[in-house]
Amino acid sequence: MAADNDERPVPLLTVTEDGKFHLGDEAAQRLSRVKGKIGVISIAGLYRTGKSYILNRLMGRQHGFEIGGTTNSCTKGIYMWGKPITVKGGFGELNIILLDTEGIGSLEKDQTHDAKIFSLSVLLSSYFIYNSMGVIDENALDKISFVANLTKHIHIHSPQKDPNVNAKSNANKKGKEEEETDKDKHIREMSLYFPDFLWLLRDFSLKLVDKEGQPITSRQYLEQALTQPSTDRSKAETRTVIRNVFPARDCVTLVRPVVDEEDLQSLDSIAWENLRDKFRTEVTELVPRIYEVVKPKLLFGQRIDGAAFIALVKSYVDAINSGAVPTIKSAWESVSELECKKAIESAVQVYIKSMNERTENKLPFDQPELDAIHRSCHLLALEEFNLKALGDLQQLVPHKEKLEALLVDEHNKYILSNDNASQAQCKQLLLKIYETIDANLQKDSYASLPDLAGEWKRLIESSYLPVAKGKFKFIVLSDFVTQRVSDTMTLLGQVLMDKLTKRHRQEMDEMKHQLNEERDDKKKLRDEYNAARQDFKSQLDRSHQHIDTLTTQNSKKDEDIAGLRRQITKLEKDLAAAQQTIQDLQNKKEEPKRMEDTPQLLPQSPKKKSKCSIM
C-alpha cells in the first residue's frame, strides 16, 4: 500500500442501519501488520467539541481526521489513523494507534448507542481522552453520567462468573447493602483493565485556584471536582465510578483557540500560527505530555500487537452484535486462543526455518548431533511461542502441549529425512569402495584372501567409518559386508582356485614335458654313452697298439741312448783331457814371461814353436 494512502483516517468500526457494528477490512489488514508493542489513544466526548482536532495535533498536523462544524457528527462509529505513530516515551518505543470516536449526544443516535461507543472506546484504549467543553460542573457530570452504568455495558467475567450479574440474580436473597458492595467490588475490579484517563477541558476560561484562592494544578482541579459532595445521588455515583474505574487520571485545560466563535466552525482551515498563542502553547505542551505517559496496551498484564488488537476488537463487536455485553475475560480468552494458535504456527515455522538453516544440504548427521540441533531449534520455537502467545499459565498449557506434539512431528520428519540421507550416503560410500575393490579385482591385484580382507578393512576404516553418519551407518555396513564383501571374497576365492588349478595343470604339463625330456635325455645319454664306449674301446685298442709300437720304439731308443751316453762319456773325457792340455800349454806360455821379469841368471835359449792337435 502506498505511503500517501496511509496518511488518512480508516474506518475501524462502522455502524449499520440496524445498529450492528462492522469491523473494517482495511483497518484489520493494516493493524495485522503492526508488530511489537502498541499504545492506543482514543478520544470520546460530545459531538462538535473538537475531538478530531486534538488527534490531528497529536500527529503535528492541522488536517487529518475530519472536523465538523454542524449539528451532525462527522465521525460515524470509530475511525483510526491509517498508520501507527511511532513515539518513544516513558515506556519505550510504541506504535501509537489513534482512534477517533463518534460524538456522544448526536441527534442521530440514542444513549444506548453512545454507551456502546463509549464502552468500546474505553475497552480498546490504553490511554483514554474524554473531551468536553468548559468546566467540570453538574452539567458536565450529567453528560458523562452513563459512566455510572459501565457495569451494565462491560463485564469482567462471563455472566456465570460476573459478581455484578450474580448480585442481581440473587437480589432476593441479599439486602440492598450487600448488592451495592458487590457492585463496588465489580467496579474496582474493572479498574484493573481500564486505561489511563485524561479529562480534556476545552475553551476553559476559569482561573485554577482553590477556595482560598491559592493556585492549583489542573489535576488538583479534577480531584476537587470528583470529590465534591453532591445531593444528587446520580452525580455522586458518577463521581465515585470515575474515581474507582480510572485510578490513573489526569486533567488538562485548553483555552479557546480563537476569539471569534465563527472561526471555530472551520478550525482546521486556520493556520496554526494564527491561533491564540496561549492555546498553541497549551497544545504544544499537551502532545509530549500524553506521549510520555501513554502505556502499551495490556490485557491481563500482557502486551498485545496489532493482530491481537484486531482479535480483541472482533471479540467485543461479536458480543455486542449478538446482544450480549462485552466481557473482558471472554474477549481475552478469544484473543488468547487466536494468538496462541498464531504463536504455535509461528513457533513451528521458526523451528522449521532454524532446522533447515542448520541441516539443509548437510544431512545426514549422527543422531546425537541431530538431537542437539533439535534441542536448539526447539528452544527457539518455545521462545517464539512465549514471545507471541497471550494468556496465563493455565491457558497456555494446552497450547504448549499442542506445540510440543507438532514439534515432535516435525522432529520425526527430520529424523526420517536424516535416516533416508544416512542410508543413501552409506550406500554411496560403500559402493564407491566396492568399485575400487572391483577394479582391483579386475586387475588381479590381490594375491590372497587375506590381502583382499585387509584392503576391505583399510578402505572401510579410512573412507567409510570417519565419513558415514546416521542411523544406517552400521546397518548398511552389516548388510554390505554380508553381501558385497562376501561376494568379492567368493569371487577372489574362485579366481585364486582357478589360478591354482591352472598353475597345477601347467606344472603337471611341465613335469610331463620334463619327464619326456629326461627320458629323451637318458636315451640320448645312453646312446652317447654306448657310442663313447665304443669309441673309447677303439681308442683303447689303438692306444694299446701305439703303446706297443712306442714300447718297441722305446727299446730301440734306449739302446741308442745308451750308445749316446757312452759317446758323451768319452767326449767328456776327451774334453777334460783337452782342457788339461790347454791348461798345461797356457802354463807353459806364461813361464817365459815370468822369467823375463826375474833376473836372468842363465842365458836365454831361443823360442821354439810347438804344435798340438786335438782330436
Same domain, 14 and 95: yes
Same domain, 233 and 347: no
How many alpha carbons fall within 13 Å on the CB side of residue 168?
Answer: 9
At residue 106, the pLDDT reads 60
pLDDT score at 180? 54
185 pLDDT above the threshold of 80: no
- Looking at per-residue pLDDT, the higher value among 4 and 12 belongs to 12
Q: What is the residue type of 338?
A: L
Pairwise CA distance, residues 575 & 271, whole Å: 182
pLDDT beyond 70 at 28: yes
CATH code, domain with 39: 3.40.50.300
Q: How many domains does the chain have?
A: 2
79 pLDDT tier (thresholds 50, 70, 90): very high
Task: Give 100's strand partners.
Answer: 43, 79
DSSP-assigned letters across all residues of 336-369: HHHHHHHHHHHHHHHHHHHHHHHHTTT----HHH
Among candidate residues 168, 159, 152, the one with its CA nearest the CA of residue 118: 152
Q: Strand, helix or coil at 61?
A: coil
Type of residue numbered 576? A
Summarised one tens digit per residue, pLDDT across range 205-218 is 899 998 888 999 99
Quick one: pLDDT band at residue 182, thresholds 50, 70, 90?
Answer: low
Regarding whether 197 and 66 lie in a shared domain, the answer is: yes
Say if residue 488 is in the same domain as residue 388.
yes
| Secondary structure percentages of the chain, helix, strand, coil, to 5 | 65, 10, 25
pLDDT for the residue 71: 39
Q: Which three cell numbers stand for residue 573?
A: 773325457
Phi-psi category of 414—alpha, beta or left, where left has phi over 0 and alpha has psi -120 to 50? alpha
What is the structure's pLDDT at 376? 96
Cα–Cα distance measured from residue 503 to residue 459, given in angstroms and rounded to the nearest whole number:
31
Flag whether pLDDT at 178 surpasses 60: no
Q: Which of 112, 76, 561, 518 is nearest to 325 (CA)?
A: 112
Cα within 13 Å of Cα(396), Cβ side: 13
State how far the Cα of 97 lies from the Cα of 85, in Å rounded to an integer: 7
User: ω before 159 within 30° of 0 (cis)?
Assistant: no
Domain that holds residue 516: 339-528
Q: Which of 74-88, 303-317, 442-456 reaches the highest mean pLDDT?
A: 303-317
Which residues make beta-bridge pairs with 41?
A: 98, 127
CB 136 within 8 A of CB 221: yes
Residue 358's pLDDT is: 94
Same domain, 520 and 470: yes
For the stretch 34-51, pLDDT in tens is 988 999 999 998 877 778
- 3-class DSSP state of 562: helix
**538 in any annotated domain:** no
Residue 322 has pLDDT above 50, yes or no: yes
Q: Rounded to the nearest 10 degrees, how much is the dihedral formed by the CA atoms of 448, 449, 452, 454? A: -100
CA distance linking residue 491 with residue 445, whole number of Å: 13
- Mean predicted confidence (pLDDT) in 477-504: 82
Q: Is there a single domain that holds both residue 129 and residue 87?
A: yes
Q: Which residues pair with 104 in a beta bridge?
A: 46
Q: At which residue does the C-alpha cell 833376473 appear?
A: 599
Average of per-residue pLDDT across 223-234: 89
**Domain assignment present for 162:** no
Nearest in space to 279 (alpha carbons), one of 203, 198, 199 = 203
pLDDT digits (tens, 9 = 90+) for 392-439: 888 899 999 999 999 999 999 999 999 999 999 999 999 998 899 888
Tell me if 370 sits within 8 A of 418, measured CB to CB: yes
pLDDT over 90 for what percent of the chain?
38
Q: pLDDT of 323-376, one tens digit each?
A: 888 888 888 888 888 889 989 999 999 999 999 999 999 999 999 999 999 999
Q: Which residue has the cell 762319456?
A: 569
Q: Which residue has the higher pLDDT, 430 or 152?
A: 430
Backbone angles phi, psi at 56, to 5 degrees: -60, -40
Q: Which of 241-250, 332-341, 525-534 has the highest mean pLDDT?
A: 241-250
Residue-level pLDDT at 278: 94
- Model pLDDT, residue 107: 53
Angle 433-435-441 (CA atoms, 0-180°, nearest 5)? 105
Q: Which three cell numbers stand for residue 112?
A: 444506548
Which of 112-121, 165-174, 378-387 ranks highest by mean pLDDT?
378-387
Element counts in the chain: helices (H) and strands (E):
18, 11
Residue 584 domain-assigned (yes or no): no
**Judgement on whether residues 148 and 57 belong to the same structural domain of the protein:** yes
pLDDT band at 4 (very low <50, low <70, confident <90, very high): low
pLDDT at 609 over 90: no
Instruction: Provide the phi-psi class of 96: left if phi over 0, else alpha when psi is between -120 and 50, else beta.
Output: beta
Query: Between the ranges 71-85, 105-119, 186-200, 547-561, where is the mean pLDDT highest?
Result: 186-200
Average pLDDT over residues 461-482: 89
Q: Given this model, what pLDDT does residue 428 score?
A: 93
Q: Give the domain-ending residue among 485, 507, 528.
A: 528
User: How high is the pLDDT of residue 388?
Assistant: 83
- Residue at 567 is within a domain: no
**What is residue 118's three-state secondary structure?**
helix
Is there a domain that residue 585 lies in? no
Which grid coordinates belong to 222?
479534577
Instruction: Return phi, psi of residue 252, to 5°.
Output: -135, 140
Under 8 Å between Cβ of 11 and 79 = yes
Residue 320 to residue 123: CA distance in whole angstroms: 13
CATH of the domain at 484: 1.20.1000.10
Q: How far is CA 387 from CA 283, 305, 384, in A?
A: 37, 11, 5
Neighbours of 389 (CB within 10 A): 23
User: pLDDT value at position 371?
Assistant: 94
Q: What is the C-alpha to C-alpha distance for residues 29 and 41, in angstroms, rounded to an integer?
A: 19
615 in a structural domain: no
Task: Round the CA-based radius of gyration of the chain to a whole number and report it.
Answer: 67
Domain boundary pick from 510, 528, 546: 528
Mean pLDDT of the chain: 84
- Shared domain for 352 and 493, answered yes or no, is yes
Structure confidence by residue, pLDDT tens digits, 570-589: 888 888 888 888 888 878 77
Strand partners, 130: 44, 199
Q: 293-303: b or e for each residue (b if 16 or more CB lie within 10 Å)?
A: bbbbbebbebb
Is the same domain home to 463 and 499?
Answer: yes
pLDDT for 505 equals: 85
At 595 the pLDDT is: 61
**Site of grid cell 477517533:** 100
**What's the rounded Cα separation, in Å, for the pair 107 and 109?**
6
Q: Do 375 and 228 fall into the same domain?
A: no
126 vs 61, higher pLDDT: 126
**CA 334 distance to own-chain centroid:** 34
Measure Cα distances from 419 to 364, 376, 425 in Å.
Answer: 7, 20, 10
Res. 602 pLDDT band, cuts 50 70 90: very low
The answer to whether 307 and 339 are in contact (CB under 8 A) is yes
Question: Which pLDDT score, from 0 to 100, does residue 596 have?
Answer: 59
- The pLDDT of residue 41: 96
- Per-residue pLDDT, 290: 95
The mean per-residue pLDDT over the stretch 252-270 comes to 81
Q: How far is CA 367 from the centre of its chain?
A: 17
Whether 57 is in a domain gets the answer yes
Indicate if 228 and 317 belong to the same structural domain. yes
Q: Same structural domain for residues 313 and 434? A: no
Whole-number Å distance between alpha carbons of 27 and 10: 6
How far is the C-alpha of 155 from the C-alpha of 163, rounded, in Å? 9
Q: 318, exposed or middle or buried, with CB in 10 Å at 0-12, 13-18, 19+? A: middle
Mean pLDDT for 437-447 is 85
Give the per-residue pLDDT at 554.
75
DSSP 8-state assignment for residue 8: S
Q: Domain ends where: 284, 303, 326? A: 326
Per the model's pLDDT, the better-predicted residue between 44 and 73 turns out to be 44
- 148 lies in a domain? yes
